[in-house]
């Protein structure tokens, strides 16, 4: 087994194990079920405790995935009689988000769940909250100082690339000269770089590489524009990985306009419209890789546990881990029914 293969296997096992830990945080409605097959069995964590006030702040909901982040956080809080969730207005203005956290600190909330617009810029105010004795749960975009958060809940961007690449390899095992294309997101973002690196690493395991690559901006318009350019530059393609299902609407529009269907496509993030297309089999879209929009909802659960001095019910120690990385499963026609109910709308 190669060193790289061991690395890929270790990554997969780690993220699956971490996801299992999150599903161990149980709600106080025993009849609740998880659309992704998690463990929602009742435990002592389900018992109503002292009311906890949780401040929540995230960027503006100008993207389907981000809108679902806030909606899922509120829905999770609504499951608990002992949570008061104070949701700040979504903003892409760093100064405004800093002011929101300052308000939470001044109000003396019990915990803060924060998806920062800019992790580096929000680090000082998160440190201030921690120093004031308010646990901060950092979601999706990491702070530059690990001391700025009690818990960090992350999607697995590198793992997304691994999952997409492994799926492409499984479909093209008999085509050593297959042409693989990639429609990335914003190249300056670490998350895009991590996704692309994971994709490249996984493809190399089956002797493939990325032959044609373009970068969009996570919008429908940019997805359509760059994909049109890609299709003109590549007269023959066997597979495309598109990093983001929201921009994927534009990607699919460009493919339809070009009349191309000789390849299959893998999406990214896991939108409902992408999953409906996979169910119907009405386009080249054959699969998508989940980037969970449940991260802030998990953050709310963890904030409640911390404020009530509880731990994850599936751990031996009465403790909450410092970091949880969620898995990046591939959704296909075979398993889409297990994921579509919790998918976000683009």
Find all residues with CB under 8 Å of 72, minimum gap 6, and list them.
Answer: 293, 294, 296, 297
pLDDT value, residue 314: 73
CATH number of 3-155+293-328: 3.40.50.2300
**pLDDT tens for each residue of 260-269:** 999 999 999 9
Which positions ≥6 away from 6 have C-beta within 8 Å?
Answer: none
pLDDT reported for residue 325? 95
Q: Please list the ranges in the chain whose pLDDT falls under 70.
A: 1-43
Predicted pLDDT of residue 29: 35
Write down the H helix ranges in the chain: 3-23, 64-78, 94-107, 119-131, 157-171, 190-204, 220-233, 245-258, 272-280, 295-307
CATH homologous superfamily of 157-290 equals Response regulator (3.40.50.2300)
pLDDT of residue 43: 59
Identical fold, 3-155+293-328 and 157-290? yes
- Give the H/E segment covering residue 241: strand 239-242
> Hey, where are the domains in the chain?
3-155+293-328, 157-290
Identify the pLDDT of residue 78.
97
pLDDT for position 26: 37
Name the token pair of 267.
Answer: 């999406």
DSSP state at residue 111 = E
């Amino acid at each position: 087994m190669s060193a790289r293969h061991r690395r890929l296997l270790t990554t997969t096992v780690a993220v699956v194990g971490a996801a299992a830990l999150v599903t161990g945080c149980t709600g106080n409605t025993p009849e609740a079920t998880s659309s992704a097959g998690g463990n929602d069995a009742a435990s002592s964590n389900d018992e109503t405790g002292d009311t906890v006030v949780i401040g929540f702040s995230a960027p503006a909901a100008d993207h389907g995935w981000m809108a679902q982040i806030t909606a899922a956080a509120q829905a999770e809080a609504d499951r608990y009689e002992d949570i008061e969730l104070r949701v700040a207005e979504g903003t892409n203005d760093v100064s405004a988000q800093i002011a929101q956290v300052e308000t939470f600190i001044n109000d003396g909330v019990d915990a803060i769940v924060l998806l920062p617009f800019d992790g580096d810029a929000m680090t000082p105010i998160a440190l201030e909250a921690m120093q004031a004795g308010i646990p901060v749960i950092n979601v999706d975009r990491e702070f530059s100082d690990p001391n700025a958060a009690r818990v960090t809940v992350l999607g697995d961007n590198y793992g997304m690339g691994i999952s997409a690449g492994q799926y492409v390899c499984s479909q093209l095992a008999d085509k050593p000269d297959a042409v693989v294309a990639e429609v990335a997101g914003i190249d300056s973002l670490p998350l895009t770089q991590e996704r692309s690196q994971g994709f490249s690493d996984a493809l190399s395991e089956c002797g493939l590489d990325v032959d044609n690559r373009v970068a969009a901006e996570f919008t429908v318009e940019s997805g359509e524009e760059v994909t049109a350019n890609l299709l003109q530059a590549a007269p023959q393609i066997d597979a495309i990985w598109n990093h983001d299902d929201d921009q994927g609407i534009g990607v699919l529009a460009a493919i339809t306009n070009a009349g191309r269907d000789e390849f299959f496509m893998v999406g990214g993030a896991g939108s409902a419209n992408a999953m409906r297309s996979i169910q119907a089999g009405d386009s080249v879209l054959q699969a998508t890789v989940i980037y969970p929009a449940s991260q802030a909802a998990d953050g709310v659960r963890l904030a409640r546990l911390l404020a009530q001095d509880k731990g994850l019910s599936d751990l031996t120690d009465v403790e909450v881990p410092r970091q949880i990385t969620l898995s990046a499963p591939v959704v296909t026609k075979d398993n889409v029914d297990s994921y579509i109910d919790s998918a976000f709308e683009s």
